[in-house]
Structure 1
């Protein structure tokens, strides 16, 4: 064997070189597989040469893995032969076992564990320069790689496994949510919460955020004209439903801006008011918010009446309500948690029980159940199963509440005392 004729110093030098090559192939394999695909795409779009080479290699991961394993196995086999020759030269036939044991330990440390750990920690720093060598090596060994892949794919097909049509780069909604959570520190807490809220839109329906039927502010056309005029002059809303007697007999939605001319020319009458109204837009109560947001855009609407399966009006939803689910409550007081939550002293708050559960969760950083009852009043009544008296205290999902005001059929006001300071919004 020609290796026996080489000097030991040369054999040692070649063995060290082979160990370095083994570490190179191991590190290259790990770095290529561990590199962040989304950052890689960004770097490719920025014309980064190293990223472009790595991206090209990853287009056919089976070819990439084949050439890396081919190189690694060849190097390790050759290193084993040289180590055996060296050991025999020192220890005779007993050196064969010593060489096998020693080389296994050395390869594990210097050819596998250390380089792969380093590559997992710094994939870009290793993958980009490694691609300069691997790309021409793949071209050189392509016929052998093609044969190896062909045999491997044939075996997979015989086992009923297909290597086509699988994409590991598509993220599910929950995976994307986890990705946003992990981005904490890279994006602001505010922006992170907005992204999570956007992902949640399809889980929330208009029924969860609508203004309940009994809280709808509108214009009763059967009321005296002077009362209607006073209501229009003092109203805080820009769009109001017009109805007769009750919301069930709604006739249209009026924009107050369109009434300015009528006010200016003293031509405001019930007839002109009804003529200025726009036709009604109805929304099924189970419509997800992401769908409704697109529907508002498609129909060029900003307000809709929510109806149930029988066509009965359940409430009213606006574009602003949906946007608040993403960016938070719109309020003129930046320190206010919500228009329905009034800060009293220290960690004590007076809360209107008609507040939606979602809004209360967002404001108080709670996690009350949103399936079932949609308001705090509904949650309390479901919990107690009776209309409570004022002064009643209860523990709702671990949160102490005190009933402050009750009507004949609903809880109106609740006092909440937190045992911790709310995080700044």
Structure 2
């Protein structure tokens, strides 16, 4: 009986050691993930021990692996000896096999899965708890661990590293971010900022620019008084100056240069062009991450956007680019005009400039925005003609009613969920 108790105690010690090393591995190698930030609250002595262990990752990894291997082998050997001992005393094969099976199950659950799961949940705290014992183990078997690490490096140099995992795609990273942020208390704005980083490089200037109809510009022959009024009415502190049309921009007028003249004593200049700065022209297909680098390199804040035919498509500012990352930036000069306004009847009043993809994200639709950018463009495309107030189209289960038109452009749209009768009619019109 005393031998049986001794064998049980020896197996229990092996299980405890296996659990210890499994918890150490899970905790230490999770500290590089966001969950490891909990380690920051550990006491200074424990934190110092953890940092010293992490400073030599090869030795740490081999020391933990060696300890876990020895613990599992010890536990298996004790179980094997115990099964032989039982058979020598008349126990049958079922009893001996049961001892081995129970030990294997205990090693799997107690010596592997359970401690790893517990340590992964709070890696910082568990790393601090394991640090003292692991440091002592490293010191005790230092020559063996150093030899293992050296052999591993020599092997890698001789045969090369093993097959590496395929690089993660942007979609893989998006999925990880979505899963991580869903489990945290990040605000919606912070989540959007994180996700916008991944789409930033694929966004073109055309998607963020101020379109030509909304550009405040000045003709080079405009009187001084009208020029001052135009600059004051502009939303930007830099205004394009052109000759006969906006397709012939000759320079950019800075409000600060204008202010210096207004408050100076020399009076207005005879030639407005003498105040202008050189204009920067970029294609509308340029990616905004490239544009941001160009803005930083050249120290400019505004560029004139040209289309494929060389005509002026609009202007884009540094603020437009940054808003793609951080959202709308409102200053004291911005007029608060929401792009989306909820209505009492469950509908939405939309600014015609609202991006069609943003509307899809807002209401869960999949409106095809090919060839256009905005909701106003979608409605105009579906109508197939110049829109007039009151006209409507039904797309993807939503009816869009034109509420405001300026010139040939749709500026206000009311969107309401389509009634069951409207949807078949819309599909029939599409089929025709």
TM over 0.5: yes
Q: Which moved more, 1:323-332 or 1:278-287?
A: 323-332
Please give the secondary structure, in 2, of the residue aligned with 1:183: helix
**Matches of 1:130 and 1:396 in 2, distance apart?**
61
User: Do structure 1's residue 23 and structure 2's residue 22 form an aligned pair?
Assistant: no
Return closer, same or farther for 1:163/1:66 CA change in 2, 3 Å cut-off.
farther
Q: Which moved more, 1:236-245 or 1:124-133?
A: 124-133
Contact 2:14 2:75 in 1 (8 A): yes
Please give the secondary structure, in 1, of the residue aligned with 2:282: strand
Of the three residues 3, 7, 10, the one matched with 1:14 is 10
**Matches of 2:176 and 2:105 in 1, distance apart?**
38
Q: Which moved more, 1:210-219 or 1:103-112?
A: 103-112
Q: Which moved more, 1:283-292 or 1:137-146?
A: 137-146
**Other-structure match for 2:252:** 253
Q: Which moved more, 1:246-255 or 1:22-31?
A: 22-31
**Other-structure match for 1:103:** 103
Q: 1:318 Cα deviation (Å)?
A: 0.9
User: Do structure 1's residue 119 and structure 2's residue 119 form an aligned pair?
Assistant: yes
Return closer, same or farther for 1:124/1:78 CA change in 2, 3 Å cut-off.
farther
Q: 1:45 Cα deviation (Å)?
A: 12
TM-score (norm 1): 0.77
Contact 2:369 2:378 in 1 (8 A): no
**Other-structure match for 2:212:** 213
**Matches of 2:270 and 2:332 in 1, distance apart?**
36
TM-score (norm 2): 0.76
Superposed CA RMSD: 4.3
Contact 2:193 2:326 in 1 (8 A): yes
Matches within 5 A, 1:129-140: 129-138=129-138, 140=141
Please give the secondary structure, in 1, of the residue aligned with 2:201: helix
Q: Which moved more, 1:282-291 or 1:22-31?
A: 22-31
**Other-structure match for 1:289:** 288
Q: 1:122 Cα deviation (Å)?
A: 3.6
**Matches of 2:149 and 2:353 in 1, distance apart?**
69
**Other-structure match for 1:378:** 377
Q: 1:312 Cα deviation (Å)?
A: 3.0
**Other-structure match for 1:267:** 267
**Matches of 1:310 and 1:403 in 2, distance apart?**
30
Contact 1:66 1:148 in 2 (8 A): no
Contact 1:58 1:64 in 2 (8 A): no
**Matches of 2:99 and 2:150 in 1, distance apart?**
32
In structure 2, the gaps of 5 or more residues are 419-432
**Other-structure match for 2:161:** 162
Matches within 5 A, 1:189-204: 189-204=188-203
Return closer, same or farther for 1:194/1:386 CA change in 2, 3 Å cut-off.
same
In structure 1, the gaps of 5 or more residues are 420-425
**Matches of 2:341 and 2:19 in 1, distance apart?**
65
**Other-structure match for 2:398:** 399
Q: Which moved more, 1:210-219 or 1:133-142?
A: 133-142
